[in-house]
Amino acid sequence: MKSIRMTSYCFTFMAGLLALTAAATAADIKQPVTQRFAAPETKETPQFQQHVVPLLGKLGCNGRACHGSFQGKGDFRLSLFGYDFAMDHKQMTAEDVARINLKDPAKSLILQKALEEVDHEGGQRFKPNSWQHRLLSRWIENGAQGVLKDAPKFERLEVTPNAIQFKKEGETVALRAVAVWSDGTKEDVTPLCRYQTNNEQIATISETGVVIAAKPGDTHVVAFYDSGVIPVPVLQPVSDQYGKNYPQIAANTKIDKLVIAKLQKLGMVPAETCDDAEFLRRVSLDLTGTLPAPHEIEAFLNNKSPNKRSEKIDELIESPGYAAWWTTKLCDFTQNNYDDLINAAPVRELPSQHWYDWIKKRVEDNEGYDKIVEGILLATSREPGEDFDQFTKSMNKIYQEKPGQEFADRDHMPYYWARRNFRNPDDRVLGFAYTFLGIRIQCAQCHKHPFDQWTQTDFKEFRGFFTRVNFGVNPESRQEYTAMVEELGADKVRGNQLVRELNKQIKNGKEVPFMEVYVPKARVQKANNNKNKKQKKRRNNRQSPATAKLLGAEVVEINKMDDPRTALMEWLRREDNPYFAKAFVNRVWASYFNRGIIEPADDLNLANPPSNGPLLDYLSREFARRDFDMKWLHREIANSDTYQRSWKTNKTNELDEVNFSHFIPRRMPAEVLYDAIHQATASDDAIDSFKNSIDSRAIGIAASGVRNRAIRDKQYALTIFGRSTRESNCDCDRSVDPSLLQTMYIKNDNDVYSAINRSNSSWLFQVGQQLGAVQKPNEQKEHMNDRMDQVKEQAKAAKQRVNQLKNQEDKKKQLQQAQKRLRTLTAQLKKMKQLSSRMGKGPARMQTLEKPIPADKTEEIITRTYLRSLSRYPTESERTAARKYLNESQDKMAGVYDLIWAVLNTKEFMLVH
């Protein structure tokens, strides 16, 4: 009994102590300005940064539509969203206008216009004697001071509650925002905050911070004050099956546990697991950009192993398609564009291909994502310890495609820095932030970011890391470069003409000089009293800042560093880096789920929080802990039940687009769809070749760009289906939006007709051969053509051997023998061509077939058509309709063609589902 009384006493004592602490804490927080400036007798002096500028933002004065625009309004300009306090104060207190009247504050234009006592295009912003009126009046009456030198710095914004769960429409919750300053001051700034909702269908928020529930679902409301941006999650269950009423759902992976934890709060029941055929098609397209082959589908469906899905994922990750498709994705993010590399090297076609090959080798080897980024970010053209002569000889061997020299084997990939749209430090800040941080920072180039903490000062301080990287003729070896140009007789031409001349010379086997990506020593800005402003400006442009500041982190003394980019790479790898791992993880997730955990996937900002923060934190943390292992990330996602959910919904999740309760069908990416059309129409032998060789595949095209010859035959199709242009700092360069042109392409374009009708390697041709509907050309000519193909291959190998031996002085005898064999094969090939031209002409042709197709063959044709296109067996109704059409077709081969065409034109074929 005594023990119980003591426990009760302790509990009462602790409760009282907590209540006193809370009361003391509340007492330490200054009351909001709505209360402090409500009475006329208030004597407090408002502070410019703490009160005046936030009030101007609240009233809309420094918004884009008003004085915050670049042109300003009525000759009065404020910094957009109020980040430049010095400029704003100068504009407001300028002596040549009467915006501030210290002698007679009531006659200040800033008050008279806001009260609409004088004409004001923006209308009345507040009422006479309101708290807003008194706050501005007191500031003017007390001298209209700007930010004082010893003024405290803004530290953070605290918003309560930090999460809101409604039960029904119409409920309200009032937010409270407290600003914390460096001197320990805390102030309730709720009435000075700006607010927004990220989905007004789920919740709205008033100007005073009151959140009102609308439809069931979840979103965020966001509070803005100074550089503080605080999102608050808002949730309303979509059914009564939430919390304790939620059904038992298996969660086999950490991903599933975190997704279901969110779904439980929403009362949202996930979809069932998709069937095996659906899974195989989905994971094959997502991991390898390739449809599964018919024999692969049948084997998978007949496999009884409980681990067959995880085994298939492992198999696909080791396939050529995986390396090709995910290299293409990385080339999207890093912006491998042929047109931007047009002058990066003497042979214009090769830099973009080298870029692709360099990344592909590392994807195949499963090199850590951070290692790949390091090879790009810290790239210089010369390898460590390589002088100009060694560098030149190495690059000439690579560009003349001599054996033993591969660009992909070099440590660095410098072409990222050699792009013609990437020479300016500002462009590099934008590109780096987009590619490696998933941040759209371009707003901060001119003003404060409207949805994030970044200011123009942040942008300028970050730019210092990129000022010393150069592409061109390295000053250290300019004499050697010039001497080589003179020796080639090209010293009279410049620019593009010089590049063309070097291109011609290197293709003729001559050794030519290469421009480089290089990082010179720092030239630090010094104070100088030069009166010539233009000369001073030019000098400063050539100099580098002594320091640079990491985004949201510390200042770095870059003038003491050989390469300032090393500080960036160290920062990217740091455990506390909030962007690097998340940006990549989020993009990979978006590739699988049609949206990122943060959406858009390349727009990580404070006002755009993740739909499932714990999920993104888990994947990012574990990705970094596992040395940025990309294959681990793919396995972790693809093996989850969350990824393997069916697209078929239930009543609780049918409207869900953000919480991954079911799979969301999406159109195949452009390259994948183009390949799928050609794979689905190919013969069985051609499909196997198609899956194992990437050379002719759209998913293996190195670069984008309108002048890229490698995609000219595919350009139209890839363009209308939204292949990434890699032209801007935005993932939106790739599109999956539908259009009428896409429909017309699938229905009528000659590409599709040719894919179905191509001789020898098409499924239609294979069926025709089996049914005896193919008229073969002269068999002697066919045999001759086969023999010619063999001789061509032998001649090609002989030519490569000659090139290999050309510059090897000690192998002259072998060279003579190789040259003799090449001449013999060339003469033999010429004679065979002459003989072939006199033989039967024309390819094998499809004949009209009017006799009925045997029933078993009809069933096989229908089954194989569906397997190769939709990766599943036809339903009974589909089988009946197809059987009826084939039987009634006068020309049976035309009927088979129509069946293939009809399946390609289904919505199901174009979708990953």
Judge contact between 548 and 460, C-beta under 8 A: no
**Same domain? 136 vs 102:** yes
**Same domain? 59 vs 6:** no
Nearest to 590 by CA among 662, 660, 641: 660
Q: What is the DSSP string of 824-884?
A: HHHHHHHHHHHHHHTS--S--EEPP--SPPPHHHHHHHHHHHHHHHHSSPPPHHHHHHHHH
Query: CA-CA distance, 203 to 535, in Å (whole number)?
Result: 57
Residue 323 lies in a domain: no
From residue 504, give the alpha-carbon distance in Å to each of 420, 500, 510. 22, 6, 9
* Angle, alpha carbons 363-369-588 (nearest 5°): 85
Query: CA-CA distance, 431 to 418, in Å (whole number)?
Result: 13
Pairing state between β 210-213 and 203-205: antiparallel
| Per-residue pLDDT tens over the stretch 492-512 | 888 888 988 898 999 889 999
Pairing state between β 176-181 and 154-160: antiparallel
Question: Could you say which of 818, 843, 868 is where a domain stops?
Answer: 843
Residue 252 lies in a domain: no
Least confident of 286-295, 457-466, 802-811, 823-832: 802-811
Peptide bond just before 600 cis, omega within 30 deg: yes
Does residue 663 surpass a pLDDT of 70? yes
**Same domain? 335 vs 452:** yes
**Same domain? 17 vs 127:** no
CA atoms within 13 A on the CB side of 621: 9
| Residue-range definition of the domain harbouring residue 106 | 33-141
Pairing state between β 911-912 and 666-667: antiparallel
Give the pLDDT confidence score for residue 778 in this predicted structure: 60
Query: CA-CA distance, 81 to 607, in Å (whole number)?
Result: 15
Give the pLDDT confidence score for residue 779 in this predicted structure: 55
Number of domains in the chain: 5
| Per-residue pLDDT tens over the stretch 779-796 | 556 667 777 888 888 888
Residue 601 lies in a domain: no
**Where do we find the tokens 């990705």?**
623
Give the pLDDT confidence score for residue 393 in this predicted structure: 94
Least confident of 3-12, 420-429, 753-762: 3-12
Give the pLDDT confidence score for residue 884 in this predicted structure: 96
**Same domain? 54 vs 162:** no
Residue 1 lies in a domain: yes
Judge contact between 437 and 580, C-beta under 8 A: yes
Give the pLDDT confidence score for residue 407 in this predicted structure: 95
**Same domain? 60 vs 183:** no
| Per-residue pLDDT tens over the stretch 539-571 | 444 567 999 999 999 999 999 899 999 999 999
Cα torsion at 36, 40, 42, 43 (round to 10°)? 150
Higher-confidence residue: 241 or 149?
Answer: 241
761-773 mean pLDDT:
89
Give the pLDDT confidence score for residue 270 in this predicted structure: 98
385 contacts: CB under 8 Å, gap ≥ 6: none
Does residue 133 surpass a pLDDT of 50? yes
Give the pLDDT confidence score for residue 795 in this predicted structure: 84
Q: Predicted confidence band at 803 (pLDDT cuts at 50, 70, 90)? A: confident
3-state secondary structure of 61: coil
Does residue 636 surpass a pLDDT of 50? yes
- 381: tokens are 């053209």
**Same domain? 377 vs 403:** yes
Question: Edge-to-edge, what's the strand order for the sheet holding 228-236?
Answer: 164-165, 228-236, 217-225, 194-197
**Where do we find the tokens 């206008």?**
97
Q: What share of the chain is helix, strand, coil (3-state, %, to 5)?
A: 50, 10, 40
**Where do we find the tokens 């995910």?**
326
Pairing state between β 29-30 and 186-188: parallel
Query: CA-CA distance, 335 to 352, in Å (whole number)?
Result: 10
| Per-residue pLDDT tens over the stretch 828-884 | 888 887 777 666 555 667 788 889 999 999 999 999 999 999 999 999 999 999 999
Helix or strand (DSSP H, E) at 197: strand 194-197
Residue 286 lies in a domain: no
Least confident of 186-190, 292-296, 487-491, 615-619: 487-491
Query: CA-CA distance, 627 to 786, in Å (whole number)?
Result: 50
160: left (phi over 0), alpha (psi -120 to 50) or beta: beta
Q: Looking at residue 125, what DSSP letter applies? A: -
**Same domain? 374 vs 423:** yes
Distance of CA 86 to the CA centre of its chain: 37
265 contacts: CB under 8 Å, gap ≥ 6: 165, 235, 237, 242, 243
**Same domain? 120 vs 205:** no
Cα torsion at 752, 755, 757, 759 (round to 10°)? 160
Higher-confidence residue: 522 or 290?
Answer: 290
Amino acid letter at 272?
E
Query: CA-CA distance, 468 to 481, in Å (whole number)?
Result: 21
For CA atoms 409, 414, 418, 419, give the dihedral sign.
positive
Nearest to 339 by CA among 281, 419, 409: 419
Does residue 429 surpass a pLDDT of 60? yes
Peptide bond just before 161 cis, omega within 30 deg: yes
Give the pLDDT confidence score for residue 537 in this predicted structure: 46
Q: Which residues pair with 762 in a beta bridge?
A: 682
Query: CA-CA distance, 340 to 352, in Å (whole number)?
Result: 9
- 117: tokens are 């006592």
Torsions phi, psi for 892 (to 5 deg): -65, -35
**Same domain? 356 vs 214:** no
Give the pLDDT confidence score for residue 449 in this predicted structure: 66
Amino acid letter at 638?
A
Residue 339 lies in a domain: yes
Query: CA-CA distance, 736 to 721, in Å (whole number)?
Result: 7
Query: CA-CA distance, 621 to 619, in Å (whole number)?
Result: 6
Q: Looking at residue 435, what DSSP letter applies? A: I
**Same domain? 128 vs 183:** no
Question: Could you say which of 115, 141, 167 is where a domain stops?
Answer: 141
* Angle, alpha carbons 579-671-912 (nearest 5°): 75
Give the pLDDT confidence score for residue 40 in this predicted structure: 87
Beta strands in 535-607 (DSSP E): 547-549, 555-557
Judge contact between 381 and 391, C-beta under 8 A: yes
82 contacts: CB under 8 Å, gap ≥ 6: 53, 54, 56, 57, 62, 68, 88, 448
**Same domain? 169 vs 110:** no
| Per-residue pLDDT tens over the stretch 11-56 | 444 444 444 444 445 558 999 999 999 988 888 999 999 999 999 9
- 250: tokens are 């298996």
Amino acid letter at 364?
E
| Per-residue pLDDT tens over the stretch 324-364 | 999 999 999 999 999 999 889 999 889 999 999 999 999 99
Question: Could you say which of 210, 236, 262 is where a domain stops?
Answer: 236
Give the pLDDT confidence score for residue 78 in this predicted structure: 81
Give the pLDDT confidence score for residue 759 in this predicted structure: 75
Give the pLDDT confidence score for residue 841 in this predicted structure: 55
Torsions phi, psi for 884 (to 5 deg): -65, -45
- 686: tokens are 């051609």
Cα torsion at 678, 682, 684, 688 (round to 10°)? -30
* Angle, alpha carbons 206-207-208 (nearest 5°): 90
647-664 mean pLDDT:
97
Least confident of 88-97, 617-626, 812-821: 812-821
Beta strands in 400-540 (DSSP E): 470-472, 516-518
**What value does the CA radius of gyration of the chain take, rounded to a whole number of Å?**
34
The pairs formed by 785-793 with CB atoms below 8 angstroms and a separation of 24 or more are 785/836, 787/832, 788/829, 788/832, 788/833, 788/836, 791/825, 791/828, 791/829, 791/832, 792/829
Residue 402 lies in a domain: yes
Residue 691 lies in a domain: no
Give pTM, 2 decimals.
0.87
Helix or strand (DSSP H, E) at 428: helix 425-432
Query: CA-CA distance, 565 to 92, in Å (whole number)?
Result: 41
| Per-residue pLDDT tens over the stretch 902-911 | 999 999 999 9
Maximum alpha-carbon separation in the chain: 116
Give the pLDDT confidence score for residue 539 in this predicted structure: 44
Helix or strand (DSSP H, E) at 497: helix 495-507
**CATH number for 198:** 2.60.40.1080
Judge contact between 765 and 844, C-beta under 8 A: yes
For CA atoms 416, 419, 425, 428, give the dihedral sign.
negative
Mean pLDDT of the chain: 89
